[in-house]
Amino acid sequence: MARKVLEITLKSLTIQHNGEITRQDGHNLLTVSLIYPCPGKPTITTVKPLSLGEGMTVNFDAAPYTYADRILFKEEVIGPTLLVAQLTDVEVLSKFNKFMAGLFSTAFSAAWNLFAPGGGNLLLAAATHSVAALQLDTLKTTDGDRLYVIGRASLPIDTAQALPAGTVPLMVPSDVKRDKFVFAPGSSQPTRKEQFILAAGQQNGSITFGIREL
């Protein structure tokens, strides 16, 4: 099989609905993974917190973004692999720790607290999680908190073939709903009402990668 060292960068991200526009102190979480890039590495993942608004396009090739913001992987790839991106709805950074620690490993907790609040990338070790972790539509913790995936994209790469074009759509994997409290006319007590935000199968933007051989 062909062996190549690939540099994969994040060039741009367009999002139509960020999942929770009323949470001003919240962030979306972008995870980008390579599935079995070579023997002995089940999955490697870069995690990045982003502040996204409704109908926003972020161009990571332009200022104020730097190479440190764009770079996702410099990795040896042998044969076929799959590049998978997932974007979550909005949550405060303090809650991301328990979501990610449960999804990947307890070792993630200390690393996330150290690196993520500054806005930089966090590269997880190759063996910290399984491919199955990338198929969850909703992340949950034992105390009932939920974090929805509002966009998922995948791009096959095969080092035996030409490198693919890097723009892929972000698709919603399952319905995204939120509970909200509303006051009925004449009532002083709020009632809980489920608010529908995004539908399964809906395109919710796109993501563009730069992929080149080193």
Q: Report how far residue 170's alpha carbon sits from residue 133's, in angstroms, rounded to the nearest whole number.
A: 18
Single pTM value for the model: 0.78
* Three-state DSSP class for residue 152: strand
Task: Specify the pLDDT at position 119.
Answer: 44
Task: Specify the pLDDT at position 156.
Answer: 94
Task: Specify the pLDDT at position 89.
Answer: 81
Q: How many CB atoms lie within 10 A of CB 146?
A: 15
- pLDDT lower than 70: segments of the chain: 20-26, 91-146, 179-184, 187, 191-194
Task: Specify the pLDDT at position 130.
Answer: 47
Helices marked H in the chain — which ranges? 67-70, 93-103, 107-115
Q: Report how far residue 67's alpha carbon sits from residue 87's, in angstroms, rounded to the nearest whole number.
A: 21
Give the chain's radius of gyration (CA, Å). Answer: 18
User: HSE of 118 in the Cβ direction (CA atoms, 13 Å)?
Assistant: 10
Task: Specify the pLDDT at position 125.
Answer: 39
Q: How many CB atoms lie within 10 A of CB 107?
A: 12
Task: Specify the pLDDT at position 211.
Answer: 96
Neighbour-count burial of 53, counting CB atoms closer than 10 A to its CB (0-12 exposed, 13-18 middle, 19+ buried)? exposed
Q: Which CATH number fits domain 3-172+200-213: 1.10.3210, 3.30.70, 2.60.40, 3.40.220?
A: 2.60.40
Angle at 154 between CA 111 and CA 147, to 5 degrees: 50
